[in-house]
Structure 1
Amino acid sequence: MSFQDLRTISFYQYKNISEPHSLREELFSTWSALGIIGRIYVSSEGINAQLSVPNENFADFQNHVHSIFPKVPFKVALEESALPFKKLIIKVREKIVADGLNDETFDVTDVGRHLSADEFDHALEQDETIVVDMRNHYECEVGHFKKAYLPKAQTFREALPEVEEYLHGQEDKKILLYCTGGIRCEKASAYFKHKGFKDVNQLHGGIIDYARQINEEQRQSNFIGKNFVFDDRLGESVTDDVISNCHQCGNSCNTHTNCQNPGCNLLFIQCGSCKDDIGNYCSYQCRDIVQLPREEQIKIQQRQDEKGYKFYRSRQKHDLMRIAAEYREAQTRSQDLVPPSLPQ
């Protein structure tokens, strides 16, 4: 089945689920039969789903979802340019979003005011408004709203205290929060209201629904660039602006990829020229290592600290330009290859 035959959507709902494991089995059985692929998290507090549904089965899927989660809205992908998922994965987790918060210490239902795209844009124009991106650094890098504070955090759990520190002393200001689809702002807005912020607002439906609304109304977007998404596409263009740079050469680029060294898997931005030069690798070192027998690769991973090799499986931003330059310099000096250590 090609991506043209699918409709990619996302939805979430906070709802008490007494038996999440039983719900997981029901969803997997029903959705597998409908040919659905995607990534879904279920917990006792609700559901968080990103999936692709065959067009011919969409009505059956929608009826099934609404029988369990009445009136839950679907957010439809902006682009259908590639197959977003390889298979159906449904996992039971403690929380549908990992936030590190103790929900018993505050009212998680006391959320911020939901703003439409038009209301959000109007509030954005006010001088005293504070706009905060509740996403991670690698999401913000390729696209964000004008005037927004962009966290340096790698995870939502890390972003919450960082944003709280940034907002300290501005409890009376109008706060605008936004994220990809709205789910992170549900918890963040309730948390910040609990912390004493009096005028907390959030973009209803997140960037995904904002883009849909401005496209339908044919008006200018205050979100610039690409919306990072957590599937194999890794992004959807909201505007044609490219606001980020290749991590390996510095040229204008907004294409994320993962290092193909299975011991690394670093998420980074890579342009076409660097891909032609290095391949789908974050460094020459990772490119060279995968040419070795698998047994030798495993040995290198096990002794990486003493030999200077570094493997990450992370989304931390590293200075890949420096690493490449050091490698090339070492090659021109005809020295033995000893990969430079990377910052932790």
Structure 2
Amino acid sequence: MQLYNTLSAKEREKLIEDAGKDRLTISFYKYAQIKNLEIFRNHLFIHWDKLEVLGRIYVAHEGINAQLSVPAENFELFKKHLDSIVFLEKVRLNIAIEQDNKSFLKLKVKIREKIVADGLNDASFDVTNKGIHVGAEQFNELIEDPDTILVDMRNHYESEIGHFKNAVTPDVDTFRDSLDIIEKDLAEHKDDKKLVMYCTGGIRCEKASAYYKHKGFKNVYQLEGGIIEYTRQVKAQSLENKFLGKNFVFDHRRGERISSDVISNCHQCGEPCDEHVNCANEACHLLFIQCEKCAEAMGDCCSSECKEVHQLPFEEQKRLRKGKKASNKIFKKGRSEVLRYKK
């Protein structure tokens, strides 16, 4: 039985266009003890492939982290299948604020050591002793409290285009980098301040809150469901939106607009812009912020060198990148020296 993709992204994109069906972009996670990962992984692929689910799903002995899209007409069947799995019954689903039928173009269910790379030894602390979960209304109240320290648990390229006002935004490339930095910077406030954390959908805060409680922080809170759920609750309850700009997302959309504020700039000219792109040179694929004018002038590339390569015949481009791996740059997040106005 086939348990992997055979279609290319372009082939899948055409099928989506031809189908003409509205799709829902969804994310969810759940920490749980999963024993036989291979069986579980295959079970998900078989059932979700039938439902035309596309996305990036990681499974590990500690649980599941899923970002996917499903035809709207199959949503109830998808939810029914989730509910048939004991530890996923009634799991909270974060449904995207802005929908895009092409947010994902392949179904990938992968086995990983962890569902989020945190670099932590889970056996050294109680991962179930988590912080207090708060909804949007209580979160808004907490972050106005002078005794609160609000921390963004995301990476620099995420917070660069959007974050809550007055949040501490660590200048880090990875989640694991932020954990020790935040503890060190806030060490003197373990007893006297409320530590309030947030991330995209909540998964990073689940582990981080338990870690910081283990490290001695007395008052630890986390935004339930992250920015995605916060935005939904703000709209549903007519609350004040305290998030500025865009929420970065890890699919082809790269961002959801939460407010009209543009708090970042084009990495090439410095003009206000919050549109993330990947360099069109396949041998580079660097993630950076680029405005429309620079995109036109640079041929959707991050540098003159990449523009020259991108203009070469396709076979010549393939020859030049043969044997070279640049996938780590896909989310290398605007650190390149070729970007004049990078953060």
TM-score (norm 2): 0.88
Encode CA deviations 1:274-294: one digit per residue, 9 max, x unaligned: 001002111111111233423
Counterpart contact for 2:287–2:329, Cα < 8 Å = no
Mapped to 1, the partners of 2:200 and 2:297 lie a distance apart of 33
Shift in alpha-carbon separation, 1:316–1:107, aligned structure 2, 3 A = farther
The AA in structure 2 aligned to 1:174 is: K
Q: Could you say which residue in structure 2 is the equivalent of 1:209?
A: 229
Output aligned runs, 1:225-264, within 5 Å: 225-264=245-284
Output aligned runs, 1:140-151, within 5 Å: 140-151=159-170
Q: Could you say which residue in structure 2 is the equivalent of 1:328?
A: none
Output aligned runs, 1:11-50, within 5 Å: 11-50=28-67
> Which of the residues 177, 189, 198 maps onto 2:197?
177
**1:116 aligned onto 2:135:** yes
Deviation at 1:144, TM superposition (A): 0.2
Shift in alpha-carbon separation, 1:66–1:295, aligned structure 2, 3 A = closer
Q: Could you say which residue in structure 1 is the equivalent of 2:333?
A: 315
**1:64 aligned onto 2:87:** no
Mapped to 2, the partners of 1:299 and 1:36 lie a distance apart of 32
**1:224 aligned onto 2:244:** yes
Shift in alpha-carbon separation, 1:44–1:224, aligned structure 2, 3 A = same
Counterpart contact for 1:228–1:235, Cα < 8 Å = yes
**1:294 aligned onto 2:279:** no
Q: Could you say which residue in structure 1 is the equivalent of 2:178?
A: 159
The AA in structure 2 aligned to 1:54 is: P
Counterpart contact for 1:154–1:316, Cα < 8 Å = no
Aligned to 2:120, the other structure's residue is in SS state coil
The AA in structure 2 aligned to 1:125 is: E
Deviation at 1:316, TM superposition (A): 4.7
The AA in structure 2 aligned to 1:288 is: E
Deviation at 1:220, TM superposition (A): 2.1
Deviation at 1:81, TM superposition (A): 3.7
Counterpart contact for 2:24–2:100, Cα < 8 Å = no
Shift in alpha-carbon separation, 1:210–1:312, aligned structure 2, 3 A = closer
Deviation at 1:323, TM superposition (A): 9.4
**1:77 aligned onto 2:100:** no
Mapped to 1, the partners of 2:101 and 2:297 lie a distance apart of 24
Q: Could you say which residue in structure 2 is the equivalent of 1:333?
A: none
Mapped to 2, the partners of 1:95 and 1:85 lie a distance apart of 22
Mapped to 2, the partners of 1:26 and 1:300 lie a distance apart of 35
Mapped to 1, the partners of 2:341 and 2:239 lie a distance apart of 43
Q: Could you say which residue in structure 1 is the equivalent of 2:10?
A: none
The AA in structure 2 aligned to 1:142 is: I
Counterpart contact for 2:132–2:220, Cα < 8 Å = yes
Deviation at 1:207, TM superposition (A): 0.2
Aligned to 1:100, the other structure's residue is in SS state coil
The AA in structure 2 aligned to 1:154 is: D
Further displaced range: 79-88 or 104-113: 79-88
Mapped to 2, the partners of 1:67 and 1:9 lie a distance apart of 18
State the number of aligned residues. 317
Mapped to 2, the partners of 1:84 and 1:102 lie a distance apart of 33
> Which of the residues 207, 214, 218 maps onto 1:187?
207
> Which of the residues 124, 127, 149 maps onto 1:105?
124
Q: Could you say which residue in structure 2 is the equivalent of 1:5?
A: 22
> Which of the residues 285, 299, 302 maps onto 1:265?
285
Mapped to 1, the partners of 2:281 and 2:254 lie a distance apart of 18
Shift in alpha-carbon separation, 1:300–1:44, aligned structure 2, 3 A = closer
Deviation at 1:321, TM superposition (A): 4.6
Counterpart contact for 1:131–1:148, Cα < 8 Å = yes
Larger Rg: 1
Mapped to 2, the partners of 1:243 and 1:111 lie a distance apart of 32
Further displaced range: 58-67 or 99-108: 58-67
Aligned to 2:189, the other structure's residue is in SS state coil
TM-score (norm 1): 0.88
Shift in alpha-carbon separation, 1:218–1:88, aligned structure 2, 3 A = same
Q: Could you say which residue in structure 2 is the equivalent of 1:338?
A: none
